[in-house]
Amino acid sequence: MKVAKFGGSSLASGGQLQKVIDIVKADPNRKIIVVSAPGKRNKEDTKVTDLLIKYCNVIINDGDVTGIQDKIIRRYQSIAGHFGVPLENIADIEIGIRQLATQVFPNRSYQMAAFKAAGENNNAKLVAAVFNHEGIKAHYMDPLKIGLRVTDVANDAQILPSSYQKLARLSEYTDTLVIPGFFGYNAKNNICTFSRGGSDITGAIVAKAVAAERYENFTDVDAIYAANPNVVENPRKITHLTFREMRELAYAGFSVFHDEALIPAIEGKIPVVVKNTNHPNLPGTLISETKEIDYDNVVSGIASDDGFTGIYIRKYLMDRQVGFTLKILQVLADLNISYEHMPSGIDDLTVIIRSNQLTPELEALVQERIEAAIQPDDFQIEHDYAMVMIVGEGIKDRVGTMAAATASVAIAGVSIVMVNHGASPVSITIGVRKEDADLAVKSLYRTFVNHETVHLTNLID
């Protein structure tokens, strides 16, 4: 049995849904289909999820909802009309969308979660109806009824382990099942959504639960690329990644997957294939637990992400003080701040955190409490860092990788503010200024993918 997830671009219109139908018919093992809400039909279009967010905000502000309701409903009706599905067959979609305006929610967070989830939920009903009309015997599966239970966090929920046993029963069905992605229900039957990339998470959860032979993630790209196509022109397609590599690349900014999305598949050791709905016969990118390492091409991908802040601390004889680092991390924990990296020297230490965790007020509080806890000789908070990550199985075993990486960045005229190598066996993380990130990525791509020789002669006095 295969689980196939289709993203918003794959379901944006009747024409796109026809491609999905052809894909499902082409392989009888594709029995469980996880769907996103309809996405953009063109650059000027609006995603259904964004329309639903607007709908919710209109209600919160006591506005007239008729126009936005009609606009959302027409998106579903236009897809149904493409296939000649009678509107009475999807009447519950219109009813559900209009009833959202009068529903009572515990608070606005749950209200927004329910509105956002309506995009996927109604699309699953629509896709099931179209499938049946087109000769695929299909059933819409309500996440509440199939036992998709999540933690009680309205817009950042996590799957409850107890859900897997109930979801495993999905493997007993012989017909095609259509499941809405992105959300589940808490213990009080309130809708809670996953984080961004939530439909990917649902697909991975279901694949793990039914022990799928493969989890296929259909999107609008032919494969995962070795670098961002907006930074590197015509980057190489990656044919095979390990779970570890994909996690590192997703963390560092690869947009195909949110870095949490694959965790259930990783836990279940379910192979994942990223494929293009528009070119389904292309092989795509396989992501699995292991792969054969090519030591001549040890780097699989190069990614970068900005939005980091460095907390720099200098304290003489820091290395002799027991519990010194613990005191710093305890301050951050007390303020509910997580850290990403922590490179250190004998008397110096930098804690790298995501900038979005700080406000000016919280930044001042961090400094005040850390200075009170450890009395540093120097304390600075540096903004606008970017992390550039070189990822590949076998990096730690290939002599000269670090030397080539730092030389490549130097050739680009980029100053390194941090290096983290050794903590992960499959990656090297290089901290640079935000404005230098693209230069670093381009140079590293030329070095490790194009195998251009690095010469440092002109940089050495």
List the chain pLDDT tens, one digit each, 461 residues: 999 999 999 999 999 999 999 999 999 999 999 999 999 999 999 999 999 999 999 999 999 999 999 999 999 999 999 999 999 999 999 999 999 999 999 999 999 999 999 999 999 999 999 999 999 999 999 999 999 999 999 999 999 999 999 999 999 999 999 999 999 999 999 999 998 778 999 999 999 999 999 999 999 999 999 999 999 999 999 999 999 999 888 888 777 777 678 899 999 999 999 999 999 999 999 999 999 888 888 899 999 999 999 999 999 988 888 889 999 999 999 999 999 888 888 888 899 999 999 999 999 999 999 999 999 999 999 999 999 999 999 888 888 888 889 999 999 999 988 888 767 788 989 999 999 999 999 999 999 999 887 666 555 44
Find all residues with CB under 8 Å of 134, minimum gap 6, and list them: 21, 83
Do residues 374 and 264 both lie within one domain?
A: no
Angle at 205 between CA 120 and CA 223, to 5 degrees: 80
Q: Mapping DSSP to helix (H, G, I), strand (E, B) and coil, where does residue 342 land?
A: coil
Out of 288, 310, 326, a domain closes at: 288
b/e burial code for range 67-83 (CB count within 10 A of at least 16 → b)? ebbeebbebbbebbeeb
Q: Specify the pLDDT at position 74.
A: 96
Do residues 439 and 391 both lie within one domain?
A: yes
Quick check: is 20 in a domain?
Answer: yes
Look up residue 442 and give its amino acid. K
Look up residue 26 and give its amino acid. A
Do residues 146 and 284 both lie within one domain?
A: yes
Quick check: is 163 in a domain?
Answer: yes
Q: Which has the closest alpha carbon to 50: 6, 99, 116, 124?
A: 116
Cα torsion angle, 444, 445, 448, 452, sign? negative
Task: Report how many domains make up the chain.
Answer: 2
Quick check: is 317 in a domain?
Answer: yes
| End-to-end CA, the chain | 63
As to burial, measured by CB atoms within 10 angstroms (0-12 exposed, 13-18 middle, 19+ buried), residue 348 is: middle
Residues 229/164, Cβ–Cβ less than 8 Å: no
Do residues 129 and 210 both lie within one domain?
A: yes
Q: Specify the pLDDT at position 342.
A: 87
Do residues 193 and 105 both lie within one domain?
A: yes
Quick check: is 293 in a domain?
Answer: no
Q: Mapping DSSP to helix (H, G, I), strand (E, B) and coil, where does residue 197 land?
A: coil
Cα gap 273→426, rounded to integer Å: 21
Out of 256, 288, 320, a domain closes at: 288
Out of 243, 267, 288, a domain closes at: 288
Q: Which domain holds residue 141?
A: 2-288
Do residues 236 and 374 both lie within one domain?
A: no
Do residues 107 and 226 both lie within one domain?
A: yes
* Bridge partner list, 309: 353
Quick check: is 296 in a domain?
Answer: no
pTM score above 0.75: yes
Residues 448/303, Cβ–Cβ less than 8 Å: no
Q: Residue 207: which H helix or E strand, with range? A: helix 198-209
Q: Specify the pLDDT at position 395.
A: 87
As to burial, measured by CB atoms within 10 angstroms (0-12 exposed, 13-18 middle, 19+ buried), residue 292 is: exposed
Do residues 266 and 319 both lie within one domain?
A: no
Residues 211/32, Cβ–Cβ less than 8 Å: no
Quick check: is 294 in a domain?
Answer: no
Phi, psi of 310 (to 5 degrees): -110, 130
As to burial, measured by CB atoms within 10 angstroms (0-12 exposed, 13-18 middle, 19+ buried), residue 118 is: buried
Q: Mapping DSSP to helix (H, G, I), strand (E, B) and coil, where does residue 341 land?
A: strand
Residues 52/122, Cβ–Cβ less than 8 Å: no
Quick check: is 295 in a domain?
Answer: no
**Torsion of the alpha carbons at 47, 50, 52 and 53, rounded to the nearest 10:** 170
Do residues 35 and 62 both lie within one domain?
A: yes
Do residues 406 and 273 both lie within one domain?
A: no
Quick check: is 271 in a domain?
Answer: yes
Cα gap 426→242, rounded to integer Å: 10
Angle at 339 between CA 300 and CA 112, to 5 degrees: 90
Q: Which has the closest alpha carbon to 219: 146, 273, 293?
A: 273
Do residues 232 and 96 both lie within one domain?
A: yes
Look up residue 457 and give its amino acid. T
Q: Give tens-digit pLDDT for 184-233.
A: 999 999 999 998 778 999 999 999 999 999 999 999 999 999 999 999 99
- What's 363's domain CATH number? 3.30.2130.10
Do residues 65 and 139 both lie within one domain?
A: yes
- What's 230's domain CATH number? 3.40.1160.10
